[in-house]
Amino acid sequence: MFLPTKIYFIVFGILTIVGGVMGYVKAGSTASIIAGSISGILLLVAAFLLPTQVVAALVIAFVVSLLLAAKFLPEFFRTGKMMPDGMMGLLSILGIVFAILAWMRG
């Protein structure tokens, strides 16, 4: 179960960094590039810690996914905007699911 989880968190981390950069380029949002970079790097760290440091990796990935979901899902439900709120909310929920499933099977 760790390989699909690892791949997912690599993709999620890269998309999060790219999203932060896009937020900065489109809206001049320094907060977007900082938060996107930190979140994305933490997701990449979690991915590369798998499968040797399972507990640390899954805790990092779960917490980052949970925080991103808490930020993006309420905004998506308020505005209905798929980009970036809906996409990041969906990716975050999938991150939570991947972390829980990997924990249960690992």
Residues 6 or more apart in contact with residue 25 via CB below 8 angstroms:
none
Q: What pLDDT is stored for residue 24 in this prediction?
A: 96
Alpha carbon distances (Å) from 57 to 31, 32, 49: 25, 24, 5
- Split at pLDDT 50, 70, 90, the class of 1 is low
What digits encode the pLDDT tens for the residues 25-42? 999 999 999 999 999 999
Dist CA 47 CA 26 (whole Å): 29
Q: Is the pTM of this model over 0.75?
A: yes
